[in-house]
Homo-oligomer: A and B are copies of this chain.
Amino acid sequence: MPSNSAPRAYQVVLDAIENDLRSGKLELGSQLPGERALAEQYGISRASVRDAIRILDVMGVVRTSTGSGPNSGAVVISNPAAGISQALRLHVAAKGIEVAEIVESRILLETWAAQMQPRDPRYAQQVIARTAVLIMRMDDPELSREEFHRIDAEFHVLLASMSGNAVVATMMESLRNAISDYVSAAITDDETWQSVVKILRRQHKAIHHAYANGHRERAAQLLEEHITWFYGQTH
Contact = CB atoms under 8 A, between A and B. Distances in A.
A141 interface: no
Interface in A100-119: 101-102, 104-105, 108-109, 112
Nearest to A164: B101
Tell me the dominant secondary structure on chain A's binding face: helix
Nearest to A109: B108
Contacts of A78: 91, 94-97
Interface stretch (A21-29, A121-129, A214-222): A21-29
B90 A61 contact: yes
Nearest to A89: B18
Contact of A105 (B87, B94, B171): B171
B76 A94 contact: yes
Interface in A61-88: 61, 76, 78-80, 83-84, 86-88
A199 interface: no
A80 B56 contact: no
Residue with the greatest number of chain B CB neighbours at <10 A, chosen from A78, A168, A175: A78
Interface of A: 10, 18-19, 21-22, 26-28, 47, 50-51, 54-56, 58-61, 76, 78-80, 83-84, 86-91, 93-98, 101-102, 104-105, 108-109, 112, 165-168, 170-171, 175
